[in-house]
Amino acid sequence: MKLNSVTKKLPKYLHKFILKQPYGEYTSQNQAVWRYVMRLNVSSLKEIAHECYIDGLGKTGIDEDFIPEMEGMNRILKGIGWAAVAVDGFIPPNAFMEFQSYNVLVISSEIRTIDHIKYTPAPDIIHEAAGHAPIIANLEYSEYLRRLGEVGSKAISSPKDDEMYEAIRLLSILKENPNSKEIDIQQATESVNNLQNQMGELSEMAKIRNLHWWTVEYGLIGVLASPKIYGAGLLSSIEESQACLKKSVKKIPYSIKAATVSFDITNTQPQLFVIPNFSRLSFVLEEFANTMSLRNGGLNGIAKLIASKKMGAIELSTGIEISGIYTNVIELNGTPIYFQTKGPSALSVNGRELIGHGKECHADGFGSPIGKLEGVNISIEDMSPKDLETYGIIEGKKTVLNFVGGVKVEGKIITGKRDLQGKIILISFESCKVTYLSEVLFDPAWGVYDMAIGENVKSAFAGPASTDSFNDIYSVSNKKTSKILYSKSDKALHVLYGKVRNLRSQKSLDYKVIKVVFREVQRNYPHEWLILLELYELVYNKDITLATEVYSQLIKLKKNKDLDQLICDGLDLIKK
């Protein structure tokens, strides 16, 4: 992976999702699909897309005629503070959001097949590069996208979210690959539908994904009566970019309510949300962020982390952060009084790991009481040196600390850590025993006990507080996008597409080659329409006899209702 000034800031645990773009594997038919969709979109979107879209195509280096190369895109994106990396289809939602928080677009290196030229359920380079990239040239939208990634990467998910991610990933892979068996697609579809009906209460991640979907993917902007398109899913879909503006699709003013409106990735959307301007996006995002555990913490935040069964972190009132997989919380009247993680855990402040308190030091988990001492009005974090002495919190001395709620810490204090303001954030004990009523929470035989200091939990969020604490926090799906297996006939067709592509780049047309290609298509590929459009484009207004023959063949194919609009749109482009 070649790092640039943007991508070098990515945490190392995200690198495993990044692939080398397999540019040499794109067939000439793939290039023709890109060209058809892009030319059609640019032509039609001039009237119905937000004005920054067409401008953004130029600013981000998107060419109508060629599938973009990631390195070339990055040279241009760097100028607006962004970068792009290639990935294999859908990646875990938190990872996707985290890339975005670093101003990095994740772009699926695959491209839709000709059978899914109108719309693909799988992420592809048309959707990602031609849909997402141009809009980020708008600075206000760009900042929203970054903030959405920043907030979204901290959203706590549920195990159901993970199941849904894997199910949708598998379905998208199967539906896009022409070699897939119909029975496998049916089973994968049923699995997604069943999960959608069993999701229960939406997690923070599910809600933030809804906001992402109804804005970044399927957003409209302007007035309700005649909005314009800015969502990448609409910008990259020939079919839906036209259909979405019809009255049959309900238009709703965008608000925080969109967080609870789920979507179906396999179907067109029955309703869409409209923003009056891009500043509305950031307003609603802040409104939603205020509802998250990221900003509220407390017992509810720890409970969400426990339920997620994934890496998460809490921040105490002193600013100390504890990252790990949370397994237990003891509470009193709705307030957490003790928490526990299992496995490798780490401590940090302001997102920087505390020296000597990484996962190697806390390999078996971390637990600590929260709150005040019994009968003491002042919190430990607010105690002056004199207060600490009064309550027996002195280095080198044995002490017994009884916390409100029943947690007791008794042992010899070794040392403590303070923040820049002088507040104690951590106290370390030896020969220490920690109990809750009759339950032993820490035994002296386990070694040094480190006690985090904080009166309350002010924040709880997904992922580690310090990106340097863990090498691996996300799982790469074992469901890989399989390469399409092309038959001998398919490969011969791709050669013909390549010949047409070469003809288009020549200064003078070789009509002999054009006729040979046309006859071969007629003979061996009677249902192939896109190569005929490309041939017709070459001979239109140049060789009337040959143009008439090609046109007649296209008119025959128009009788197929699935091809009718595609061919009509292609002919209109040529005539323009």
Tell me what pLDDT residue 399 has.
Answer: 96
Looking from the CA of 114 toward its CB, the CA atoms found within 13 Å total: 22
CA distances from 7 to 2, 79, 125, 320 (A): 8, 13, 19, 28
**Dist CA 218 CA 293 (whole Å):** 27
In this prediction, what percent of the chain has a pLDDT beyond 90? 72
Q: Could you tell me if 52 and 141 are in contact, meaning their C-beta atoms sit under 8 angstroms apart?
A: yes
Read off the pLDDT of residues 17-73 as tens digits, 9 standing for 90 and up. 999 999 999 999 999 999 999 998 888 888 899 999 888 887 887 888 999 888 888
**Dist CA 196 CA 160 (whole Å):** 9
For the cut 70, the answer to whether the pLDDT of residue 436 exceeds it is: yes
Read off the pLDDT of residues 150-164 as tens digits, 9 standing for 90 and up. 999 999 999 999 999
For the cut 80, the answer to whether the pLDDT of residue 434 exceeds it is: yes
Supply the DSSP symbol for 403. B
For the cut 70, the answer to whether the pLDDT of residue 166 exceeds it is: yes
Pick the CATH number of 7-287 from 1.10.3720.10, 1.10.800.10, 1.10.760.10, 3.20.20.70: 1.10.800.10
Tell me what pLDDT residue 41 has.
Answer: 85
**Dist CA 89 CA 301 (whole Å):** 31
Task: Report the SS3 class of residue 273.
Answer: strand
Burial of 136 (0-12, 13-18, 19+ CB in 10 A): buried
**Dist CA 378 CA 396 (whole Å):** 23
What average pLDDT score do residues 405-426 get? 94
**Dist CA 32 CA 12 (whole Å):** 36
Read off the pLDDT of residues 217-235 as tens digits, 9 standing for 90 and up. 999 999 999 999 999 989 8
263: left (phi over 0), alpha (psi -120 to 50) or beta: beta
507 Cβ contact partners less than 8 Å away, ≥ 6 residues apart: none
- Rounded to the nearest 5°, which phi and psi values hold at 406? 115, 0
Tell me what pLDDT residue 208 has.
Answer: 96
Task: Report the SS3 class of residue 466.
Answer: coil
What average pLDDT score do residues 171-192 get? 90
Tell me what pLDDT residue 118 has.
Answer: 83
Task: Report the SS3 class of residue 348.
Answer: strand
In this prediction, what percent of the chain has a pLDDT beyond 70? 100
Tell me what pLDDT residue 508 has.
Answer: 83
Nearest Cα residue to 313 out of 172, 179, 470: 470
Tell me what pLDDT residue 349 has.
Answer: 97
Count of CB atoms situated within 10 Å of the CB of 59: 17
Read off the pLDDT of residues 57-81 as tens digits, 9 standing for 90 and up. 878 878 889 998 888 888 888 888 9
For the cut 70, the answer to whether the pLDDT of residue 279 exceeds it is: yes
For the cut 90, the answer to whether the pLDDT of residue 236 exceeds it is: no
Q: What is the chain's alpha carbon radius of gyration, rounded to the nearest angstrom?
A: 29
For the cut 70, the answer to whether the pLDDT of residue 281 exceeds it is: yes
Read off the pLDDT of residues 87-102 as tens digits, 9 standing for 90 and up. 998 899 999 999 999 9
What average pLDDT score do residues 569-574 get? 93
For the cut 70, the answer to whether the pLDDT of residue 1 exceeds it is: no
Task: Report the SS3 class of residue 508.
Answer: coil
Tokens standing for 401? 């600390």
102: left (phi over 0), alpha (psi -120 to 50) or beta: alpha
Tokens standing for 524? 């061996």
CA distances from 61 to 28, 133, 143 (A): 21, 9, 20
207-217 residues labelled b (16+ CB within 10 A) or e (exposed):
bbbbbbbbbbb
For the cut 80, the answer to whether the pLDDT of residue 415 exceeds it is: yes
Alpha helices in 452-543 (DSSP H): 488-505, 511-524, 530-539
- pLDDT confidence bin for 128, thresholds 50/70/90: confident
